[in-house]
Structure 1
Amino acid sequence: NAMLGAFDEIEKNNDIHAVVINSSDAKNWSLGIDLVWMMEHIQMGDEEGIKAFIYGANDVFRRILLFPTPVIAAINGHAFGDGSILACACDFRFMKSDRGFFCFPEVDIDIPFLPSMLAQIRKAFPTYKMEEAIFTGKRMVAKELEESKVIIKACRDEADLMNESMAFAATFQKKRGIFGELKKRMNREIIELMETADPPYIDNLQLTP
């Protein structure tokens, strides 16, 4: 809700032409779902709470996918699971090299992706790299992602990361109308999967094989 609120406030300001997502945590950019919280609520039988959380995550992804300015992930720490999906939802990605892994650990924790999540990964990853990342659950570093064109640049450290991502953001002075329409058309299939393919899995809590 806080992230959705932040995007609402940004959208009200027409002087903003790009958004850069960074973390105040020097170690972690985003670790996605809190598995301890998830298991506790499963044991409590709080199905509605779990469903609401998953739908809420999709709301954040949808907001980024349709936001009418460039959204740039400045990955300054670990990105795991849904955190990596969040980065894939963004239009562009930068990552620092001195610390942080990018990983989809779902294969090792028995949690399959929702259909729209796979589509978001496909948006950011070339097919060969997507298969390797998903089926191995390997921890990838910035240089590897740069070589695969998943990120624009592997930056030396935090300062270089912010300088590069902010400088890149400053190159955009596009009209929101056309930028938003292009994103809507480019990401239409992902949004359709969220609306049609994801709900049966979420509503039936088919979160494990």
Structure 2
Amino acid sequence: MGSEELFTVPIHPMEAHQGGSIVCTSPAPQVYLLTWNSPPDNRLTPAFCSALMSALNIIEFGYPPGVLITTSAISKFYSNGLDLELAIGTPGFFEDELYFLWRRFLTYPMPTIALINGHCFAAGLMLAMHHDYRVFTGPKGYMCLNEIEFGMPLMAPMSSIFRIKLAPPVYRQLVLEAHRFDGKEALSAGLVDAVGDLYALLDFVRDKGLVKKSATGVYGLLKAEMYRESVELLESGVGGASQLPVLQAAEKKRKIEGTKWFNPQRGMEARRRRRECLQVEVDASVRGDQVIDLTAHTGKEIEGLQKDELVHLVAKRIVVFFWDQVISPQQQPELGEYYGKSRFKHGTRVTSFAEKPYFDPSTLTRWQALGLLDEGELPFDGPAWRIG
């Protein structure tokens, strides 16, 4: 097959990456084939993204509209994704270069096809997904999102295109299982539209009449509306490198707090101490707006606590440790509560809240000093607990 070479864009070296080039040829009239070669595995470095953006601009503004195809000169890799350390260490790379490049493909004003002739992993697969079509050459090579294996969260601009284009079970396999799809599986799952070589791809282009699709000038506008969610996310600037430490810090904090709450040894000791201090009896004779008489019956004095604080501390204990307590028939008459009225009936669970907040930092500090709460533990979340 004859193929006219149109132009070459260099990929400049960058740190450990030796650079390379993107060569544009025309294997058929108005069909533009971009073949990139950036050893060893076509990482999406800032230099790579810049060169690819230049090639897209040259084709759009320097040649008649037609069809754009991308592929790799390295038979083993279409693209192995990012150099993560370099990407995170380059200010603005995600927002200004990578996402901008993906948006360019997503709204490019002519049909785009990724001819995947080798492994297509992580951000390399994301790049392919922002093409209109994907054709897998096979028989070797896999398509995979392996972020779960190296601990990289997927930002919204990265994941949205998969939600739009794939069925939920396939998306789950990609993201949560890091499943490696070969050509046959990828075709069945809808990750690719066909399996075959460049000759088969040119037949694919001819059969669908793709060369003429951009002639009316609205092809890019139609795609921008089709993929509006992804376009908006890619333009928004969210999901940059600066967000990574924020997400990681929030997850670390969540795990630390969870350990405090669910550590069996500490949790059992805290519960034992509260049980010793707070044996509760409800005086069923109380009516109306009177305060329920909640009394500690262990014979231990809880110094430093005011009566109101004791009421709510005991109420907290009821909710936590008597969640399924069945109120006896003798306690069925209407009972007062600290804020307003409530009715206890046989089988009632203590689950409701008072609307008025009731504690301040000094109260919490005293409770912690008495050993009634672990460090960082709250007696209740926001509103005060009530019985009702």
**TM-score range with shorter-chain normalisation?**
0.7 to 0.9
Q: Distance in 2 between matches of 1:135 and 1:6?
A: 34
Give the structure with the higher percent helix: 1
3-state SS of paired residue (2:217)? helix
Name 1:131's counterpart in structure 2.
Answer: 172
What are the within-5 Å matches in structure 2 for residues 40-189 of structure 1?
46=89, 49=90, 51-55=91-95, 56-155=97-196, 161-170=197-206, 171-172=209-210, 173-174=212-213, 175-189=215-229
Bigger mean CA deviation after superposition, 122-131 or 67-76: 122-131
Percent of aligned positions that are identical: 27
Cα displacement (A) at 1:88: 0.7
Higher relative contact order (CA 8 A, sep 6+): 1
Q: Distance in 1 between matches of 2:98 and 2:165?
A: 18
Cα displacement (A) at 1:36: 5.4
Q: Distance in 2 between matches of 1:59 and 1:83?
A: 15
Taking a change above 3 Å as real, the CA distance of residues 153 and 2 of structure 1, as seen in their structure-2 partners, is same
**Superposed CA RMSD:** 1.9
1:88–1:121 Cα contact (<8 Å) kept: yes
Name 2:287's counterpart in structure 1.
Answer: none
Taking a change above 3 Å as real, the CA distance of residues 116 and 35 of structure 1, as seen in their structure-2 partners, is closer
Q: Distance in 2 between matches of 1:5 and 1:35?
A: 23
Gaps of 5+ in 1: 156-160
1:71–1:90 Cα contact (<8 Å) kept: yes
TM-score (norm 2): 0.47
Residues 164-209 of structure 1 deviation map (CA, whole Å, 9 limit, x = unaligned): 223323421122522111111111111111233x526533344755
1:72–1:169 Cα contact (<8 Å) kept: no
Taking a change above 3 Å as real, the CA distance of residues 189 and 36 of structure 1, as seen in their structure-2 partners, is closer
Query: One-letter code of the match for 1:57?
Result: L
Q: 2:68 aligns with which of 10, 19, 37?
A: 19
Taking a change above 3 Å as real, the CA distance of residues 139 and 94 of structure 1, as seen in their structure-2 partners, is same
Taking a change above 3 Å as real, the CA distance of residues 176 and 2 of structure 1, as seen in their structure-2 partners, is farther
1:192 aligns with 2:232: yes
1:8 aligns with 2:57: yes
Gaps of 5+ in 2: 1-49, 252-388
Name 1:158's counterpart in structure 2.
Answer: none
Q: Distance in 2 between matches of 1:176 and 1:125?
A: 28
**Higher-Rg member (1/2):** 2
